[in-house]
Amino acid sequence: MPLLRSAWTPGPAHAHPGPVLVSLTDLTLPRRLDLPGVYRAARRLTAGWPDLEGAVGVWLWASPGARRCGAVAVWRDEAALRGFVAWPPHVDVMRRYRGRGALSSATWTAPRCDPSGIRARARASISLQRKAS
């Protein structure tokens, strides 16, 4: 299945030299009809990215044929990720879509924000999760 990816959306910490924390989310939806709404909600969240404390940047990704979508976000540190998780717009989206699919997530650290290396690792993880499903 093809994997689509949005453009990089930089955050206020985009020049952070490292190390960074990378978070990967992967939502699999049983109903294909839910995918456009989830993706639109994620796009609205990324509109606020430039104001999120400690956000280095984010890509959204989708595999429509597999009814999967998610994000690869790069953070200055774990505190910045926790701040996003508690961010009211994010909490609202999570409440709205709770129970509509299977959500998995993973985090790892990288010595710096290396977009091509991070994308490659995320893509491999997404592919492995697809095979395990």
- Given a cut of 90, whether residue 19 has pLDDT beyond it is yes
Domain limits for position 48? 4-132
Contact 90, 84 (CB under 8 A): yes
In the chain, the number of structural domains is 1
Quick one: pLDDT at residue 130? 53
26-84 confidence digits (pLDDT tens): 999 998 888 899 989 999 999 999 999 999 999 999 998 889 999 999 999 999 999 99
pTM tops 0.85: yes
Q: The domain spanning residue 14 has which CATH number?
A: 3.30.70.100
pLDDT digits (tens, 9 = 90+) for 84-95: 999 999 999 999
